[in-house]
Amino acid sequence: MSDNSPTLADARILVVDDDPDILTAARLLLRRSVGTLDIARAAEGLAERLSSEQWDVVLLDMNLTQGKTDGADGFAWLERLKAADPAVSVVLMTAFGGVAVAVEAMKRGASDFVLKPWANERLVATVMAGVSLARSRREAADLKIRHQALSASPSIDGATIVGGTGSMRRVFEVIARAAPTNANVLVLGESGTGKELVAREIHRLSSRANGPFVSIDLGAVSENLFESELFGHRKGAFTDARDDRPGRIVAASGGTLFLDEIGNLPLYLQRKLLTVLERQEVVPVGGDKMVSVDIRVVSATNVPTAELQREQVFRQDLLYRVNTVELTLPPLRDRREDIAALAEHFIAIYARKYNVARRRLSGEALALLESYRWPGNVRELKHAIERATILAVGDRFEPQDFPAVVVAPSAAGPATAAEPGPDLYDLDAIERRTIARALADHTGNISRAASALGLTRAALYRRMEKHGL
C-alpha cells in the first residue's frame, strides 16, 4: 500500500444493523484495522448521537424492523445521516437487494451498496473507499470555508485599486458593468499596472464571488508541463505523476480562472486552450474521460493589441473567445494625478506591516515621485515606498529616501567615460540601471525585456524583485 492510499487506522466507522450476528461479523472483520468502531443495534440511540458525533463511514442495514424488506428504514436513516453530516459516506447493506434498489440508494446519496452475506475483501475495500471519499469531501468543505474567509478579509499589501483620474474612472465603469455577467474579459496593460488586481475585482463583484479565484502565469509555465498544470493528470501518466492531480482549470470550476501573460503562450498550446474553453471540458493527462468544468475566464497580457491581432502571434479564434470585453489599464506615467493617492495608500500599508509610525511625504519627495516616469508602473512605486518605509530615518519621507534611479532618472541610461558617475564600478547599480532601461525601452513588456537582456522571464522577475523594480 502506498503512503498516499487511504488507511483505516484513524477512521471512525459505525455499523447499524438489527441482526446481532451481522454486528459481530463486522466487529471481528474491522476491529483490528479501524481506529474507532461503533455499533448501533437497530439504530438504538442513534438519533441522539447525530448532533454530537461524526463518522467517516456508516454501514447501514436497509431493513431495521423485523419482517420488513422494502428498504424504507434504510432510506429514512440515510436521509437523516446525510442531513446531519453531508460529508459522511453511507454504505447500505441488505440481503434483499437488486439492481433497482442499488440505483435508488445511489440516487439518494449512498456512496455504495453491499449485499449480505458480504465477501470480506470486498467490504474492507468498500469501507476504505468510503473513508477516502469522506475525507475528500471534508477537505473540499474546509477549502471553501477558507476561501470565503479570505474573500471577506480586507485587502492587504496594496491589493486595492486606487485611482481618480478620468482614465481610471473609465476602468471602474467597465469593471462594474462586466463583472456581474459571465463574459470573458481581456485586461491589457504594461507590466505592473495592476492587471491581476482588476481580475480579482471582477471576480469579487461577480455572482461567482464565493467560488475559487485561480491564477496561473502562462508565461512562467514550461511548455512540457502546460497540460499537466492546466488540465491535471492521472497517476502514472508520466514519471513524476505519483498521484491523481486536478489541474488549475478544474480547481477553478464554479469560479474564475485568471490567465496571466496569455499573449506569451505558444501557438500550438493556444489551440489546446481554445478547445477547452469552447467545450468547457478537460481531459487530464493520462486520462480517457472528459471532466466538465464551469469557469469564467479573465485573461491579461502586456502584448500590444496590434501584436495580438497578428495571426502569427495569437490565434484570432482564441482572441475572440477571451476578449468578449476588453479593458486597457493606463501606465502610471499617464495618470500622474493618482501618484499622491497611491503613495499614501502604500505608506499606510507598509507602516502597519513594519509597525512603524506613518510618515508623510515632503513636498520635494512628492514632486520627485510625480516627475519620475515609473517604467515599472504601480508595482515599482509600491516597492519604492516599501524600501523607503524600511530605510528612512526622519519623520517625513525626503527625496534621498527613494532609490537612486528615482532620484536621478537620467541614471537609467548606461554610464559613459565622460560622465562616469559615483557608481561606475557598482555592479548592482549598473544591473539595476540596465534592467530599468530595458523595461522602459520595451514599455514594460517582461518577455521582450528579458529577451533583450539575455535572461529568462523568471530570472528577470528575480532581478526586478531584488532591485525593487
Q: What's the pLDDT score for residue 442? A: 73
Q: Which positions ≥6 away from 63 have C-beta within 8 Å? A: 18, 69, 70, 71, 73, 74, 94, 96
Using a CB cutoff of 8 Å and minimum separation of 24, what contacts does 348-352 make?
Answer: 349/156, 349/157, 349/158, 350/385, 350/386, 350/389, 350/390, 351/389
Q: What's the pLDDT score for residue 147? A: 54
Q: For strand 213-217 and strand 325-328, is the pairing parallel, antiparallel, or unpaired?
A: unpaired
- The vertex-18 CA angle with 15 and 23, nearest 5°, equals 45
Are residues 60 and 50 in contact, defined by beta-carbon separation less than 8 angstroms? no
**In whole angstroms, what is the distance from residue 235 CA to residue 244 CA?**
5
**In whole angstroms, what is the distance from residue 382 CA to residue 197 CA?**
14
Q: What's the pLDDT score for residue 4? A: 44
Render pLDDT for 306-349 as a digit per residue (tens, 0 to 9): 889 988 889 999 999 999 999 999 999 999 999 999 999 999 99
Q: What is the pTM of this model?
A: 0.60
Q: Which CATH number fits domain 172-330: 1.10.3720.10, 3.40.50.2300, 3.40.50.300, 3.30.1300.10?
A: 3.40.50.300
pLDDT (mean) for 6-32: 84
3 state SS of 191: coil
Q: For 91-95, 211-215, 298-302, 388-392, which range has the lowest pLDDT when averaged over its residues?
A: 91-95
Residue indicated by cell numbers 491579461: 300
Enclosing H/E stretch for 457: helix 457-467
3 state SS of 98: coil
DSSP conformation class of 88: -
3 state SS of 92: strand
Domains 12-144 and 336-467 share a fold: no
In one-letter notation, the amino acid at residue 375 is: P
Q: Is the peptide bond before 117 cis (omega within 30 degrees of 0)?
A: yes
Fold (topology level) of 336-467: Helicase, Ruva Protein; domain 3 (1.10.8)
Q: What's the pLDDT score for residue 2? A: 41
Q: In CATH, what number does 12-144 get?
A: 3.40.50.2300
Rounded to 5 degrees, what are φ and ψ at 245?
-140, 125
pLDDT (mean) for 382-408: 89
Q: What's the pLDDT score for residue 89? A: 92
Q: For 157-171, 231-245, 411-425, which range has the lowest pLDDT when averaged over its residues?
A: 411-425
- Highest mean pLDDT, choosing among 127-136, 199-208, 288-297: 199-208
Q: For 2-6, 18-22, 252-256, 415-419, which range has the lowest pLDDT when averaged over its residues?
A: 415-419
**Which grid cell is 223?**
511548455
Render pLDDT for 67-103 as a digit per residue (tens, 0 to 9): 677 778 888 888 888 888 888 999 988 877 666 777 7
**Which residue ranges make up each domain of the chain?**
12-144, 172-330, 336-467
**Which grid cell is 281?**
471540458
Rg (CA), the chain: 30
Percent of the chain with pLDDT over 70: 87
pLDDT band at 427 (very low <50, low <70, confident <90, very high): low
pLDDT band at 149 (very low <50, low <70, confident <90, very high): very low
Q: Is residue 239 scored above 70 in pLDDT?
A: no
Q: For strand 281-282 and strand 291-292, is the pairing parallel, antiparallel, or unpaired?
A: antiparallel
Are residues 74 and 95 in contact, defined by beta-carbon separation less than 8 angstroms? no
**Which grid cell is 469?**
523594480
